[in-house]
Amino acid sequence: MTLIAAGTVVTAEGVHRPGWVETAPAGLSAQPTAGRIVAVGSGTPPRRPDHDFADAIVVPGFVDIHVHGGGGASYTDGVADEIVRAARFHREHGTTTTLASLVTASPTDLRTEVAALTDATRAGVVAGIHLEGPWLSSARCGAHDASQLRNPDPAEIDSLLGAADGAIRMVTLAPELPGSSDAIERLVAAGVVVAVGHTDASYDQARAAIDLGATVGTHVFNAMRPLHHRDPGPALALLEDPRVTVELIADGVHVHDALLRHVVATTGPGRVALITDAMAAAGLPDGSFRLGTLDVDVADHVARVRGQSTIAGSTASMDRIFRAAVADAGDNGALAAAVAMTATTPARTLGLDEVGRLAPGLAADLVVLDGDLQVTAVMATGEWVVFEDDKKFARTPDN
């Protein structure tokens, strides 16, 4: 067993100053507690701790439900080594649970990518697959290959679901497309979370999609019909419905800080999932990259489709997103809200019941943050993550 004490520990019960967490290593495979949290508590730990982070904050491992790559590697290429490398980059930044997002591609390429990520899901590298496309609006396609966009087709949906064998956990689609209603019902029946995004839907069309079972708004405000006083569009429908979790990219680029604060204040952190929407450029210097079939240039840590003003995902990691969500590390409410939006809410949204909280019986996934909320250590399923080099990772400036 490993006993961890810290100046601050954010558990399922609240913020403890000080607090402690006891975990069991994954190597104890014969034990039912292997790789899990054994106990949590407030105040003085029950025995001398194995690790004492007196000036640090311990939070649950981050859960990122929308990410395309990082550290120079991409989930969209269908290459096993690249998938591992991208997941490892984000794990070093505290993301212990990753939903790998694919972008719009041809039917053949999409099946190849799904097959590779299905293998990675079975191996525990990622927690599943998010199909962001190809059933998106051409008017709001953002950094997706418009030539490969198509309407939802029952045969293609069934083929992908069959190939993934349960690995597809979320699908983003535009509900105004012909065939979308049948697609939503088909996906929900298969246990897939349906998200509304990259859409030019009206308010009523978005409401209809929610009534059919859509429960997530993909990076709300981005790549969707904007809010208008006579045509409120999909954003208002997603924000006002308590059945919906709204994704927000809190990188200081995609959504203004004031709007982020307003959404959190009005919907509550229990309905907000902060995401990175990171691409391969995350963690690397400015330069040229690819997102699916599109060329992307990164300048001042902002990714854009080459020759366009269209933003192409982000270069953020979840620790940076967490810092953006916390106004004051000494404020218990701010810490609890940030933990909810970067771990608890996204995990619950996808039905990932064993992650997202520090509580007995759940996976021993946690992040140790210093006073500046920089990652100093990460534990995944009861084992400390070994960073690739002494520098741990290349930090990029917060926006």
Which amino acids are annotated catalytic? 277
Strand partners, 298: 287, 303
Rounded CA-CA distance 299/301 in Å is 5
- Per-residue HEC secondary structure of 62-121 comes to EEEEEECEECCEECCCCCHHHHHHHHHHHHHCCEEEEEEEECCCCHHHHHHHHHHHHHHH
Question: Long-range contacts of range 153-156, CB-CB < 8 Å, 24 or more positions apart?
Answer: 153/179, 154/179, 154/182, 154/183, 154/186, 156/107
Strand partners, 15: 10
Are 373 and 381 contacting, i.e. CB atoms less than 8 angstroms apart? no
Question: Long-range contacts of range 187-195, CB-CB < 8 Å, 24 or more positions apart?
Answer: 187/157, 187/161, 187/213, 188/212, 188/213, 190/161, 191/166, 192/161, 192/168, 193/169, 193/349, 193/350, 193/351, 194/170, 195/170, 195/171, 195/247
Residues across the chain: 399
Transcribe 338-359 into DSSP letters: HHIIIIIHHHHHTT-TTSSS--
Strand partners, 166: none
